[in-house]
Amino acid sequence: MNNTIDIETFLELAESIPVIDVRSPKEFLHAHIPGAYNLPIFSNEEREKVGICYKEKGKEPAILLGLDLVGPKMANLARAAKDLAFNNKLLVHCWRGGMRSSSMAWLFNTIGIETNTLTGGYKTYRRHIKSYFAKDFKLVVLGGMTGSGKTEILKEIINLDAQVIDLEGLANHKGSAFGSLGQLEQTTTEQFENNFFKELVTLEIDKPIWVEDESQTIGKIWIPEEFFNQMRNNIVIRINVPKDKRIKWLVEGYGGFNPELLSDSILRIKKRIGGLNYNLAIEALEKNELENLVDIVLSYYDKTYQYGLSNRNQENLYTIDLNVIDHKRNAVKVLEFYRRLNS
């Protein structure tokens, strides 16, 4: 029997029952519920044909066209569903909980698979996660100039039983003009939000959640405004690491990349660092004077970060001096510093 269920029940059941997204491959590729399987009732081209038919001829002809297209595929769809079902159960959704999901749920139920569909479909899921980002989180923002080792400190903080959301890890980008180097291709912002929600919902909302200080964009990804506003208004712990230590750390992290990739990254910030500094940076790269190159680039990033901090609520801004790049030791120091602030 096919039942429609609300989003809370759907997500709870999805922890143990496979989710079938019956939207077209193009829709699924753009963004989907993490972990869902795509079993499209229509191909991209078929969905377009049905949509055109609906606009030009109306609902009934579009339904008949849809049936003509789906009919020959029903047996294969049923077999695929059997293979994906767990304990003979499935969850199904389409875009807005309409005919695509109800039709597939009917098919699955007909062959004996207990199937539930999501009321309102994927649109309901998207509304749900956007509202979740607006909840009142107790954020602790870890700040510091480029090369301070913030990401690595946060990874060590996880090992100390603190809650962390790795925004750069979720975005597949390290946040600067060089941030795509060594990273997987970025998803759409919508898929980032879906993946972000999956991580965030596992954390305890009434306990501190650590995040790295970011601008609202990480590469081409946008942090949800509902969450980003909270990042701007919560406590910031700024780690202050000497520039020479940061330069050494960045050379170790980026020096092994292809010089052409480094050159392309420098080109992206040419206007921001100015023509003279750009030429000096390229010259340093060509001579393999990487510390000099990083020094030139950091002058721009440091000024930009200082300007950003000046626009924050200074009452929420605290600084801790760290004299070495030692992620484990620095993580302990940062956590102790935060606990003293709250004792």
Secondary structure element (H or E) that encloses residue 154, with its range: helix 150-159
172: left (phi over 0), alpha (psi -120 to 50) or beta: left
- Asked whether the beta carbons of 334 and 153 are under 8 A apart, the reply is yes
Residue with tokens 């005919």: 99
Identify the bridge partners of residue 212 per DSSP, sorted by sequence position: 142
Distance CA 5, CA 139 (A): 32
- In terms of residues, how long is the chain? 343
Greatest alpha-carbon span in the chain = 72
Residue in 41, 94, 209, 322 annotated catalytic: 94
Here the tokens at position 3 are 């039942």
Tally of CA atoms within 13 A in the half-sphere of 21 that contains its CB: 21
Distance CA 204, CA 206 (A): 6
What is the DSSP secondary-structure string of 213-239?
---SEETTEE--HHHHHHHHHSEEEEE
- Asked whether the beta carbons of 291 and 260 are under 8 A apart, the reply is no
Distance CA 104, CA 174 (A): 41
* 45 three-state secondary structure: helix
Whether 94 is catalytic is yes
How many CB atoms are located within 10 Å of the residue 25 CB?
14
Here the tokens at position 304 are 């930009």
- Report, as residue numbers or ranges, the catalytic residues: 94
